[in-house]
């Protein structure tokens, strides 16, 4: 049995689909086969070598997060986004995840930073990069949440109130458009918050969370204000953020 796909009315890029086969007298009755659909031609010199969480650089991915893409000849020059909402094209470069346009933070020959569209959901995914008509793709898997901590903290003491930033919290409530940031005058209580339960531990002890949400001026990044628990042990301790039951890679924090 042969299947063909048509790229009629589709822009050049990389698309993802799932074929579902059913046979009533077989076990299992349903088989799902993920496929990647290329519209256009791939480049012999351009390639994607890997992707990672933009904060932790772990292999952990979720909708809405910053995704770092590594490869060769991904862009003709280096350029960073200068305003919000994030652009969909820079230096003639665009990206998609499962065919949905992915806003760009930064492009260069060896690395792109993009935001995974909230619309992609969880499951098999394909990121496609179009560098001025040259195409490359890479397969990975999205989960509902995949928190990664930006490493800006090093030391503190019990009772301190700290601020940290994460990406990979997944969907937000209220819903925030991909690539966009909240209006600067949005009341604190109305800022987009992670839809999944979020918790912070320091040295295995739960911390009080004073605020967790996407602040004005950021896209795909959640700010967390928390206090160091009085019961946390001193010395080098793991700081862990858990979203929807999924823990981040620990960040070492020295408690004095």
- Residue 38 scores a pLDDT above 70: no
Q: Tell me the CB-side half-sphere exposure of residue 198, using CA atoms within 13 A.
A: 28
pLDDT value for 151: 86
Among 141, 71, 140, 61, which residue's Cα sits nearest to residue 107? Answer: 71
| Domains along the chain with CATH numbers | 13-142 (2.60.40.10), 148-255 (2.60.40.10)
Give the model confidence (pLDDT) of 163-210 as tens digits: 999 999 999 999 999 999 999 999 999 999 999 999 999 999 999 999
3-state DSSP helix/strand/coil % of the chain, to nearest 5: 0, 50, 50
pLDDT value for 42: 59
Q: Where are the beta strands (DSSP E) in 81-234?
A: 93-97, 100-101, 104-107, 111-115, 123-131, 134-142, 148-149, 155-156, 161-167, 172-173, 193-194, 198-202, 205-206, 208-213, 222-227
Average pLDDT over residues 62-87: 98
pLDDT value for 6: 72
pLDDT value for 29: 62
Average pLDDT over residues 121-145: 94
For residue 247 the two structure tokens come to 């823990």
Contact 59, 52 (CB under 8 A): yes
Average pLDDT over residues 22-46: 67
Average pLDDT over residues 85-95: 97
Around Cβ 7, how many Cβ atoms within 10 Å? 13
Pairwise CA distance, residues 115 & 137, whole Å? 16
User: Of the ranges 44-48, 51-55, 125-129, 140-144, which one carries the lowest mean pLDDT score?
Assistant: 44-48
Average pLDDT, the chain: 91
């Amino acid at each position: 049995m042969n299947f063909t796909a048509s790229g009629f009315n589709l822009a050049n890029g990389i698309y993802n689909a799932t074929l579902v086969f059913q046979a009533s007298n077989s076990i299992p009755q349903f088989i799902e086969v993920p496929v990647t659909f290329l519209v256009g031609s791939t480049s012999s010199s351009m390639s994607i070598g890997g992707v990672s969480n933009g904060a932790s650089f772990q292999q952990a991915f979720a909708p809405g997060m910053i995704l770092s893409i590594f490869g060769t000849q991904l862009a003709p020059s280096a350029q960073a986004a200068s305003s919000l909402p994030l652009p969909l094209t820079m230096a003639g470069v665009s990206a998609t995840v499962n065919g949905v346009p992915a806003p760009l933070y930064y492009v260069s020959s060896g690395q792109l930073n993009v935001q995974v569209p909230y619309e992609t959901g969880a499951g098999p995914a394909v990121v496609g990069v179009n560098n001025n008509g040259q195409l490359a793709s890479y397969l990975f898997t999205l989960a509902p949440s995949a928190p990664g901590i930006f490493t800006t903290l090093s030391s503190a003491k019990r009772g301190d109130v700290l601020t940290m930033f994460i990406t990979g919290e997944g969907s937000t409530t209220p819903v925030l458009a991909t690539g966009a940031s909240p209006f600067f005058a949005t009341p604190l209580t109305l800022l987009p918050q992670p839809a999944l339960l979020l918790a912070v531990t320091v040295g295995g002890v739960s911390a009080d969370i004073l605020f967790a949400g996407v602040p004005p001026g950021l896209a795909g990044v959640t700010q967390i204000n928390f206090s160091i628990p009085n019961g946390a042990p001193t010395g080098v301790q793991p700081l862990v953020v858990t979203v929807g039951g999924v823990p981040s890679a620990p960040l070492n924090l020295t408690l004095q």
